[in-house]
Amino acid sequence: MAQKVRVAVVGASGYTGGELLRLLASHPHVDITLVTAEKHAGKQVQDVFPSLRGSVGAQPLVKADASEIRAQADFAFTALPHHTAASVVAELWTAGMPVVDLSADYRFEELSVYEAWYGAHPRPDVIPQAIYGLPELHRERIRGAKLVANPGCYVTSAILALAPLLRDGLIEPTDILDDAKSGMSGAGRSASEEMLFSEVNEGFRPYKVANHRHQPEIEKELSTQAGGTEVRVTFVPHLLPINRGILSSIYCKPKAGVTVKEALEAWDRAYGGEYFVRLVGQGKVPNPGHVRGSNFCDLGLHFDERQNRLILFSALDNLVKGASGQAVQNMNLMLGFDETAGLDRFPIFP
């Protein structure tokens, strides 16, 4: 048997870190050799994630700098907060270690766009080295890359639905509304009053209306897919009282003469051979509950003939295809593994 790759999960105490550990624990080509955390250093993984008892649960959570990470691993996932990730990633990349970064620090080619939404960038010199990690769109660039910027969860849901239609010039690029709903794990694991059970349960509310950090990321990548044509999206995220999952309902206007058949054909050309994107067809609505725990994204389409509107639906698990699963998919491409390795599991239902 070929020697397994030594992998570090850097910043493992949040939901995305825990999900990385869950997925990597059964990956056939990986040994998890280092798990880092600041607040929980000195504990075992199972103290923070009891669900992982019996697999990687006995591994210690440690503090480690970039040199220690390089000494103990051949590949790193960084699940650190924005800004904190940038310097660690830069040190690892400079030393030749391949990295998938789950923060937003390397998702934007234009420094001005990043700084408008996230503040000053600690290592702008490394930005040009990063590849945007949406495999269904950038697979060949990701193969063999040394630094991949993993997309955001809302972003993945929106881009997978819209990219083929914009790439083929089928919809108006500045008349798009993304009405998206996410489970509570998308807000992270840190405690806050507005995320308490009694504040969230039996409720449903929008937040950061047309002012969410994922909006410029959606527009940036979709403009690239549209061949440089500026794409503008009104993005309204909502919080649902469920643990995980995203459903994006996206309203767009077809260009004159464009038919539903052409839209469906564009999706089929883009995703007909893709394992992780499932097309549920016209008139059917995907459900986040049908992708839970998996790396699948389900796409459905309706047509409002009276209003001449295409209504796209995109469902995924925000912690898997929206974060950690996609990160593992990127690692597989970077290291030459089968793209589905460690991810070939079907959703949990009910």
Give me the active site residues, please: 153
Contact 12, 21 (CB under 8 A): yes
C-alpha dihedral, 283 to 288 to 294 to 295, nearest 10° = 60
Please choose, from the candidates 123, 105, 122, the residue with its C-alpha nearest in 3D space to the C-alpha of residue 114. Answer: 105
**Which phi-psi region, left, alpha or beta, contains residue 83 (left: φ > 0; alpha: ψ -120 to 50)?**
left
CA triplet 35, 49, 27: central angle to 5 degrees? 60
Residue 330 CA to residue 324 CA, distance in Å, equals 10
Listed in sequence order, the residues at least 6 apart from 140 whose beta carbon sits closer than 8 Å to its beta carbon are none
Place of tokens 């008892």: 53
Cis omega (within 30 of 0) for bond into 173: no
Listed in sequence order, the residues at least 6 apart from 54 whose beta carbon sits closer than 8 Å to its beta carbon are none
253 burial class (0-12, 13-18, 19+ CB within 10 angstroms)? Answer: middle
First to last CA, the chain: 37
Alpha-helical regions (H) of 249-303: 260-271
C-alpha dihedral, 330 to 338 to 9 to 24, nearest 10° = 130
Residue 320 CA to residue 292 CA, distance in Å, equals 8
SS3 327: helix
Residue 8 CA to residue 36 CA, distance in Å, equals 8
C-alpha distances in Å from residue 276, one per residue of 136, 294, 332, 338, 343: 9, 9, 14, 13, 9
